[in-house]
Amino acid sequence: MKIGKYKISAMQLMRSATQILFFVFLPALYIGSFNGVKQIYLAVLHQDFNVMSLLPQIVEAIAIIPVTILLGRFFCGWMCAFGAMGDFISLLSLKVFRRKFRISEKTDKLLKYVKYVLLAFLIVAVWTMGATAFSASNPWDAFGMLFTVGQLPDLSYTVSYLTPALVILALIVLASFFVERFFCRYLCPLGAVFALVSKLRITSIRKPTAKCGNCRICTRSCPMGISLYQNDVVRSAECIDCLSCVSACPRKNVSLAVSGNDVRPALAGAMTVAAMTGIYYVGSAAANAVNMNATAISATSEAVESSAANNAFPPANTPSLPSTAKDAQSSASQSTPSPTVATSAPSAGQYKDGTYEGSGTGFRGRTTTVSVTVQGGDITDITIVSTGDDGPFVNRAFPVVSRSIIESQSADVNAVSGATYTSRGIMQAVADALSNAD
């Protein structure tokens, strides 16, 4: 296939097809992976390794990072929705301008340090110190609102609540017309994480310079601007394993090697993607099992406590037990956190007994309604009455959030990473219900 004067190989068509599939069906992998890194860091920082609450939030990181350590950044080159957007913009640029724009090697090398500075800033200021001043500036948030496949872009919400993020995203899109993978090269903090951990990988690009000509086609084809012409073996941390250099070389002199042995690049790419995807789904199943087990344990605990209390003080009413979320609507994509909502509530023991309903706003302004039961002044049960949010994210967020609310007796708890909108909607709904129990 040709675009202008450039050819696209069968392997690159396969990679593009893979990118489209992940863009449509699993766009949240990239934000989920980064949130997973955050949760692992916070667990280490606070020495809090509660498997029941941590596992659902780090599934994507578990699926992506170990494979990246071993085989390199295939996720970036084949599976990342944000990276796919950059590639599609580059193809459009090539179609419009009929040329590839270049940036000097010196400038490119210098700018690539920016993502490490950004990662350090996020770790220190946002993760460690809890700064919230930049919560509306994440371009991933605007991306999730505007590019959810199968749904109309929520431009009004994005403009109203994520204006800085929208402006940054627009600048990234514009810059991507002139510099391939602009965000990935210079700004992506997750890319910085992957670049650091992939230094231990067993894969490399082999390109014996003795068999090279003076064309430098491999270097010009690299979307990350790596100077491949300078080395026989390329192990740059910037390599995203897109394998464009392998496809572009007219002499067939560029190959992918694993532990020093050449392998079929298309097969390696497909197997790596399959491995990450398989681990993700297995991890998701394990996380669901953990949530169900946690709910069962919580229900049993409530039953035992209730039974003990009934023996000493016969109650007027028998409290209900915590329940799991009802099945929500069919699966769709969700990738970004929401604005902070007020979830403050009275302290434990200050609620009036009864059952109360409340509503909150979840993903894309959808409404979640919950029923909250108060017994003996404490929250004893939270049940979802209805929700417009996507089923997989409700099932992921509700067990963790509801359990945390019952344990803390407050609607102000931590959101579940990768399902932040849904978590906030649940918390807001509980807070709304409890406003009637003051």
Tell whether 301 is covered by a domain: no
Mark whether 242 and 326 lie in a shared domain.
Answer: no
Tell whether 126 is covered by a domain: yes
pLDDT per position as a tens digit, 74-109 = 999 999 999 999 999 999 999 999 888 989 999 999
Closest CA to 273 of 10, 72, 13: 72
Question: Parallel, antiparallel, or unpaired: how do β-strands 2-3 and 6-7 relate?
Answer: antiparallel
Distance CA 292, CA 398 (A): 11
Mark whether 351 and 273 lie in a shared domain.
Answer: no
The pair of three-digit structure tokens given for residue 327, joined into one six-digit string: 């099945």
Please tell me the predicted confidence (pLDDT) of residue 322. Answer: 36
Please tell me the predicted confidence (pLDDT) of residue 320. Answer: 35
- Looking at per-residue pLDDT, the higher value among 264 and 319 belongs to 264
- Looking at per-residue pLDDT, the higher value among 344 and 295 belongs to 295
Mark whether 357 and 212 lie in a shared domain.
Answer: no
pLDDT per position as a tens digit, 20-70 = 999 998 888 898 899 899 989 999 998 888 777 788 889 999 999 999 999
Last residue of a domain, one of 277, 305, 329: 277
Tell whether 114 is covered by a domain: yes
What's the rounded mean pLDDT across residues 234-262? 94
Distance CA 276, CA 61 (A): 10
Distance CA 406, CA 415 (A): 14
Indicate whether 307 pLDDT > 80.
Answer: no
What's the rounded mean pLDDT across residues 205-234? 91
Tell whether 31 is covered by a domain: yes
Tell whether 307 is covered by a domain: no
Mark whether 149 and 241 lie in a shared domain.
Answer: yes
Cβ neighbors of 336 (< 8 A, separation 6 or more) are: 31, 138, 140, 141, 142, 143, 144, 145, 420, 421
Please tell me the predicted confidence (pLDDT) of residue 108. Answer: 96
Indicate whether 286 pLDDT > 80.
Answer: yes
Mark whether 336 and 430 lie in a shared domain.
Answer: yes
Distance CA 373, CA 304 (A): 18
Mark whether 386 and 272 lie in a shared domain.
Answer: no
Please tell me the predicted confidence (pLDDT) of residue 334. Answer: 40
Closest CA to 83 of 27, 165, 138: 27
User: Given pLDDT bands bounded at 50, 70 and 90, which one contains residue 301?
Assistant: low
In 233-281, DSSP assigns E strands to: 233-234, 255-258, 261-263
Please tell me the predicted confidence (pLDDT) of residue 265. Answer: 93
pLDDT per position as a tens digit, 184-201 = 999 999 999 999 999 989
Please tell me the predicted confidence (pLDDT) of residue 121. Answer: 97
The tally of domains found in the chain comes to 2
Distance CA 408, CA 394 (A): 20
- Cα distances from 343 to residues 346, 355, 359, 383, 405, in angstroms, run 10, 18, 12, 17, 11
Tell whether 283 is covered by a domain: no
Indicate whether 202 pLDDT > 90.
Answer: yes
Tell whether 82 is covered by a domain: yes
Mark whether 18 and 112 lie in a shared domain.
Answer: yes
Last residue of a domain, one of 254, 277, 300: 277
Q: Give the residue carrying structure tokens 């994520």.
A: 162
Any idea what the Cα angle at residue 88 is, between residues 278 and 185, rounded to 5°?
Answer: 80
Mark whether 236 and 378 lie in a shared domain.
Answer: no
Amino acid, res. 148: T
pTM to 2 decimal places: 0.80
Distance CA 414, CA 324 (A): 18
Residues 1, 13 contacting (CB under 8 angstroms): yes
Last residue of a domain, one of 277, 305, 334: 277
Q: Give the residue carrying structure tokens 């209730």.
A: 306
Indicate whether 6 pLDDT > 60.
Answer: no
By residue range, what is the domain housing residue 35? 2-277
Amino acid, res. 417: S
136-167 residues labelled b (16+ CB within 10 A) or e (exposed): bebbbbbbbbbbbeeeeebeebbeebbeebbe
Please tell me the predicted confidence (pLDDT) of residue 53. Answer: 73
Residues 31, 64 contacting (CB under 8 angstroms): no
What's the rounded mean pLDDT across residues 258-278? 94
Closest CA to 127 of 187, 43, 193, 30: 43
Residues 293, 53 contacting (CB under 8 angstroms): no
Please tell me the predicted confidence (pLDDT) of residue 7. Answer: 58
Please tell me the predicted confidence (pLDDT) of residue 348. Answer: 47
Mark whether 331 and 409 lie in a shared domain.
Answer: yes
Residues 255, 206 contacting (CB under 8 angstroms): yes
Mark whether 116 and 248 lie in a shared domain.
Answer: yes
Mark whether 204 and 95 lie in a shared domain.
Answer: yes
Question: What average pLDDT does the structure give for the chain?
Answer: 84
Please tell me the predicted confidence (pLDDT) of residue 315. Answer: 38
What's the rounded mean pLDDT across residues 350-354? 89
Any idea what the Cα angle at residue 322 is, between residues 305 and 61, rounded to 5°?
Answer: 115
Mark whether 60 and 109 lie in a shared domain.
Answer: yes
Residue 381 belongs to domain with CATH number: 3.90.1010
Tell whether 28 is covered by a domain: yes
User: Given pLDDT bands bounded at 50, 70 and 90, which one contains residue 308?
Assistant: very low
Distance CA 125, CA 155 (A): 29
User: Given pLDDT bands bounded at 50, 70 and 90, which one contains residue 152?
Assistant: confident
